[in-house]
Amino acid sequence: MHITLDHHSKTPVYLQIKEAVLAAIRDGKLAPGARLPATRELAQQLGINRSTVAMAYEELLADGAVESFVGRGTFVARRTLAEVVPPEERTRRAPSRKMVWEGVFSERAQSPVVESLLDLYQVSTLRDVISFSGSFPDAASFPTREFRNSLHFAERTLGDEVYRYGPVAGYERLREYLAQRMRESGVDVTADNIIVTSGSQQALDLIARALISPGDTVAIENPTYPGAMTAFALAGARLLPIPVDEDGLCVDVLENVLKVQRPKLVYVVPSFQNPTGACLSWERRRRLLALAREHNLPIVEDDYGSHLRFDGDALPHLKALDDTEHVIYVSNFSKSLLPGLRIGWCAAARPVIARLTAFKQNSDITTSPLLQSALWDFCRRKRYEAHLERIRPIYRARRDAMLERLAADFPSGTTWTRPAGGLFLWVTLPKALDATELLYQVRQQGVVFSRGRLFYCDNPQRNTLRLSYGHVTLEQIERGMRIIGATAKAMLSRTTSRTAERFHSRTVPLV
């Protein structure tokens, strides 16, 4: 394979490499299964940095054009030729007839936030690696047998009702169960205040559509959950970053912002904030609600995980403190039960629920009635509580194992959070380290994590990363964390010696 780089081109070098490899695959110069040169070798050959070649390979991997095996290298994917260009078409199809997608996508589709979500998801779904990426629950603990029983029950007792279109706002019995459950945690709601959504991501999307006009601002934690940034940004919102510390959203900063700006709403993840794992303190919860009342400001409370608390006492939902209907509460069964059900819900004032229902009708009409009714059966048999009881200690043990390895294996100067629940923690490496570079290096050794910069809407901190412990075993934590720690240490000592070298070579005698 011969690659010629154009250093004057506007196309970044790593994309030029990617294109050259794809062209070689298309032209048959690189056959399925062929080994690509090692990143170091190709970097030397092209006279460029190794991490640039690694980025190109990473892109090819994400597109499914190549496969990578720890310790063996990177190979042209076996299925690439057949999928990218079927053999009979390869000779027939004139390249000029190919659809040109550039320029076809909407302005929204080209937004950088869409890229960041895709990026996060691609790393999270890589297989054959130890993945600390993605906030996924433990698949080995899924209560599949019990849920299958509930599916059978729903089908047997409700008959063809479960195969029809269901009510847009959700299966009535499930909404009643959710309202009842919320009342038990102090929230004053009935089924009429609830809409069932296809995961809480859809709830965020519907809220954005119903409340945001282009140009509105949304006050949002920085860093935060990328799916929320995408939902609001795609509805045309400008994101107003509010910092997060160990007590969650910095409400005093929001208070100052509100003196000069009028955001349309504030988005907050009060329990085990994504990505930091922080919990919004009691005091801040009260002050946030007081601000909401003072400024007629809706609060979107994203509670993906308060049910996953394994240490300390529960804090009240913002919605439980809200007797003035300022809070739009969003939750799901994705982290605490089965993400594949795609069932979440939103509890809010009736006018809000009415608007969201209208938008849901336009979005997907209804969330699967079969799955909703099975979930209702599963919950009414108290299987959900039993499942929560079972998984909490599992996550606590994994968090502890991760904390232990952070203390033992990571370079000094590294700091991290110690969440009391949820599925991940947040690490800040010494300033000299770049988590993207670290990711490329550990990826070669079969480990991945989420780079912190994907979670920022402003001022991304390149030395941060999110490590999920939800879907990795204790053994994987032990192995994977050692690899990340050792690689970070090696990178740091290289940077330190390079800095020292530069210092010495630049030092001139003073006489």
Contact footprint for ligand PMP (CB under 6 A):
135, 199-201, 225, 227, 269, 274, 302, 304, 332, 334, 339, 344
Question: Which residue lies nearer to ligand PMP by CB, 227 or 369?
Answer: 227
In angstroms, give the least distance from the CB of 51 to ligand PMP: 28
| Closest distance to ligand PMP from the beta carbon of 423 (Å) | 8
Cβ proximity to ligand PMP, 302 vs 322, nearer residue = 302
Kindly report whether the peptide bond that precedes residue 223 is cis, defined as omega within 30 degrees of 0: yes
DSSP string for 239-299: EEEEEEETTEE-HHHHHHHHHH---SEEEE--SS-TTT-----HHHHHHHHHHHHHHT--E
The residue with its CB nearest to ligand PMP is 199
3-state SS, residue 411: coil
Contact 242/258 with Cβ under 8 angstroms? no
| Helix residue spans in 185-243 (DSSP H) | 199-211, 226-234
Output 66 or 300, the one with its CB closest to ligand PMP. 300
Q: Indicate the residue among 135 and 463 with the shorter CB distance to ligand PMP.
A: 135
The two most distant CA atoms of the chain are separated, in Å, by 94
Closer CB to ligand PMP, residue 76 or residue 208?
A: 208
Q: How far is CA 74 from CA 32, 99, 415, 419, in A?
A: 11, 29, 34, 37
Rounded to a whole number of angstroms, the minimum distance from the CB of residue 307 to ligand PMP is: 13
The backbone torsions φ and ψ at residue 308, rounded to the nearest 5 degrees and listed phi first, read -100, 25
Six token digits for residue 228: 């929320």
Nearer to ligand PMP among residue 166 and residue 227 (C-beta): 227
- Beta carbon of residue 161, minimum distance to ligand PMP (angstroms, whole number): 25
Cβ closest to ligand PMP, residue 225 vs residue 376:
225
At its nearest, how many Å lie between ligand PMP and the CB of residue 257?
22
Report how far Cα 482 is from the mean position of its chain's Cα atoms: 24
Let me know: does 388 contact 336? Beta carbons within 8 Å: yes
Separation of alpha carbons 352 and 348, rounded Å? 6
Closest approach, Cβ 201 to ligand PMP, in A, equals: 3
CB of 50 to ligand PMP, least distance (A): 32
